[in-house]
Amino acid sequence: MQPRHLLLALTVVFFWGINFAIIKLGLRQVSPLGLGVARFVLATFPWIFFVRRPQAPLSLIALYSFFMFALQFGFLFTGMQVGMSAGLSSLLLQLQVFFTIGLSIPLLGERPTIWQALGAIVSFSGIAVVAAHMGGDISGTGLVLLICAAAAWGTGNIVSRIISNTYGSEDMLGLVCWGSLFAIPPLLGIALVLEPAAFMNSFTQFDWVSVGSIAYIVYIATLFGFVVWSSLLARYPVAMIAPFTLLVPVFGFLGSSVLLGEPMQPWKLAAAALVIAGLVINLFGARFSRLLTR
């Protein structure tokens, strides 16, 4: 990998990791669903007028948007507000890898390897460590919502794979912009039904922290991050690029500690070690086994 591309990959995962602390800052002023609506409105307009529409049918784009954007970020933002620290949120969301693998069995006919199954067991044992330490900035509701967010992301990955297999590789920026458009109605409708007062207050009492948080989430974490990441995936093998996402929880914990002052208790480090170890087993287990056999 060329040095500048290596730097770009590290920059993207750094921005994605820090993004969880930025979300937490934004939620101090903006309601969870309000933050979701603002994110996807700004990720849609005016870009949608300049970006080619994906070749997939609008119904399939809407399905992708519902899981990947509306449900994932609705659960994520709400879970972080009701009781989940930024660092742990960055960690728990990586469970999407195993939800993707699990859903690929009945929906895509794929067979998981023994290493993927072992990795899932190790990672979910890290979730058990988190569940055993509920209280303070961690609630059972927040934990369940973060797991739901990871499941929604995994489902969105399956829909994305179906789109790719059926209609060819899509331009990621186009899929993000058009997908963001379809995420607005469900998030807006739920917000007006469940939290109308909080939703309206979010946009009448903006401060600079809220504005900066939304700008970071939309323009840096979403648009810049996805465009650069998709360009790297187009240039290099997935096996070379995907492991960089293991650094997202690392930067997530560092960002939450520096920006929010979240404590780094030993049990959090233990949970992080187990989840990341499971991801490493999933990505590299078969390769290590072949090397040992040789």
Other Cβ atoms less than 10 A from the Cβ of 279: the count is 24
> Mean pLDDT per segment of 10 residues, for the chain of length 294 residues?
87 94 92 93 93 90 94 95 90 88 85 86 88 78 94 90 77 86 95 89 82 94 85 71 80 90 88 89 80 73
The whole-number pLDDT of residue 164 equals 79
The whole-number pLDDT of residue 169 equals 63
The whole-number pLDDT of residue 168 equals 73
The whole-number pLDDT of residue 238 equals 61
What six digits make up the tokens of 95?
């469970």
The whole-number pLDDT of residue 237 equals 67
Give the residues across from 135 on adjacent strands: 138
Question: Cα separation of 284 and 150, whole Å?
Answer: 21
